[in-house]
Structure 1
């Protein structure tokens, strides 16, 4: 061995194969972690959907033409199911930097203000919610609230998806039960 090779690190073929094998394993694990996150997020969404359905169900039962006894029995069953659903705790943490935390805080504040505006004055509320939703879309189908758009753009992609989903659900809720707006929670956690 020459003096120039002394002291240098020499990577052998077996070390390269070992490294490649480890990297391949990490790639496979990463795919499984992402699949786990996606499944957990789907479960979170399913829980949210069930809670929303049960809340809407209770509102509709109050307005339906069933007897008082039947209404009471149906409401008790729906409340029991709602309580059971709320005992399920599924959480996928979204990693955020300080700027993203601040942006989510600002976005939630704007969503709370939107919710209050809609509760206090239902006239024009659908258009206002649509302008917030359009701010979340790459191709808006109408007016865009530019202040909200500036705030939501600074949020993480996961937060943007959640906000978009909540706004769509809120808009659907508005369209289906305009008189029951006061019961809807709009912020993202």
Structure 2
């Protein structure tokens, strides 16, 4: 009797093991490494497509939908997520580049400040050496977010940088502020909408502009135009403080 019961239990175990479903295939999280949490502060906790579960037919279900996705849609979902992260990385890098440019500009303004001329030669040399040490440390930070430009746009950006650098090295904050305002007005006199059409603002609405600067500015890419305007705004804020202190 006991032997018969054992035989029945053995048969039942074999039947259960034969009908057990196969283990699910790997999820999306195994396709790419997990995103580092310490640099992903603004990324939502739920990663669309990464927690999806597979069906026996080889498709998978999104956690936000009951409809199964095929393999192509699976990868599109993952790539959409990566594309958003790449765009955020570019924006973060551009912000860091702007901060670095601001630090470089600040040191150039210090070197050209007229108060430097009132110092003794020893004091001036000491300050210059200090600036060089800080500049050397800043030079160890390399940031490069490449903006696609043709030869004409590269030339226009180079001319803009020469004009701004010449203005910074004037040494007179009053004249520098006047020139900076002309450049900034040129940035505001023409704006481009997302479709690429140029909207021109009448000169009377923005004040006098530097025509040469405006002509060169319009030859730059839209991203460069935005960055140039931000740089001039930061420079104007500094020059305003310098002018008030005088």
Question: Normalising to structure 2: TM-score of the pair?
Answer: 0.49
Structure with the higher fraction of residues in strand conformation: 2
Whether the 8 Å contact between 2:102 and 2:231 is mirrored in structure 1 is no
Whether the 8 Å contact between 1:103 and 1:151 is mirrored in structure 2 is no
Question: Offset of 1:37 from its aligned partner?
Answer: 1.0
Counterpart pick for 2:133 among 72, 80, 83 = 80
Unaligned runs of 5+ in 1: 1-11, 179-189
- Rounded to whole Å, the distance in 1 between the matches of 2:240 and 2:162 is 19
Matches within 5 A, 1:87-126: 87-96=140-149, 98=150, 101-106=151-156, 108-109=158-159, 112=162, 126=177
Q: Residues 73, 30 of structure 1: CA spacing in aligned structure 2 closer, same or farther, 3 A cutoff?
A: same
Whether the 8 Å contact between 1:40 and 1:92 is mirrored in structure 2 is yes
Does 2:168 match 1:168? no
Could you list the per-position Cα deviations for residues 96-120 of structure 1 after superposition, in whole angstroms to 9, with x for gaps in the alignment?
Answer: 2x3xx41442354366357658978
Could you list the per-position Cα deviations for residues 16-50 of structure 1 after superposition, in whole angstroms to 9, with x for gaps in the alignment?
Answer: 53222211111111111111111111221222222
Q: Residues 38, 141 of structure 1: CA spacing in aligned structure 2 closer, same or farther, 3 A cutoff?
A: same
Which residue in 2 is equivalent to 1:152?
217
Whether the 8 Å contact between 2:109 and 2:168 is mirrored in structure 1 is no
Which residue in 2 is equivalent to 1:134?
185
Relative contact order higher in (CA < 8 Å, ≥ 6 apart): 1
Which residue in 2 is equivalent to 1:46?
99
Q: Residues 55, 151 of structure 1: CA spacing in aligned structure 2 closer, same or farther, 3 A cutoff?
A: closer
- Rounded to whole Å, the distance in 2 between the matches of 1:160 and 1:119 is 22
Question: Normalising to structure 1: TM-score of the pair?
Answer: 0.61
- Rounded to whole Å, the distance in 2 between the matches of 1:94 and 1:85 is 22
Question: Offset of 1:67 from its aligned partner?
Answer: 10
Q: Residues 102, 30 of structure 1: CA spacing in aligned structure 2 closer, same or farther, 3 A cutoff?
A: same
